[in-house]
Amino acid sequence: MRRPIASREDVMRACLLLQVLEERAVSQLPLFIAAFADVDPETSAVFQQLLTDERRHLGYCHAIALHDETLTRYRQVEARVFGKGTMTNLTYVIEQGMIDGAGWKLLATVGPHVAGSRP
């Protein structure tokens, strides 16, 4: 990521990285669609359009990038980064008093120890 894309292998790696990011979006966007459906249908529709686009992008990635070892490594890195970001956000929200409850605090405490990579 620190140098320009200059080779076929660089293109493959860039596509694999995009694939991993698109996979996260495709798995998460349905949650936003459902959450906004009743309270803000227009926002829900925007998320639906994003999901449609992300699924199409994921199809491009599948067609271009076929390097399982690198893809597995990128998925593991993305899962760790996503998990750290999620736990940092949850800890901040608890510390600011935005949410309360033993269940959330337990999740913030044990979450980093049980988080694993996604398949």
45-54's contacts with Cβ under 8 Å and 24+ in sequence apart are 50/25, 51/25, 51/26, 54/22, 54/25, 54/26, 54/29
In sequence order, the 6+-apart residues with CB closer than 8 A to the CB of 55 are: 26
- Residues 19-48 have a mean pLDDT of 93
> Do residues 5 and 16 lie in contact, with contact meaning Cβ atoms separated by under 8 Å?
no
Task: Return mean pLDDT, the chain.
Answer: 83
Question: What's the pLDDT at 112?
Answer: 63
Specify the higher pLDDT residue, 76 or 110: 76
Q: What's this model's pTM, rounded to 2 decimal places?
A: 0.58
Domain locations along the chain: 1-66, 78-119
Question: What's the pLDDT at 117?
Answer: 46
Identify the CA nearest to 70 among candidates 30, 11, 114, 25: 11
Question: What's the pLDDT at 113?
Answer: 59
Q: What is the pLDDT of residues 53-109, one digit of tens each?
A: 999 988 888 777 667 788 888 888 888 888 888 888 888 888 888 877 777 777 777
| 3-class secondary structure per residue, the chain | CCCCCCCHHHHHHHHHHHHHHHHHHHHHHHHHHHHHHCCCHHHHHHHHHHHHHHHHHHHHHHHHCCCHHHHHHHHHHHHHHHHHHHHHHHHHHHHCCCCCCHHHHHHHHHHHHHCCCCC
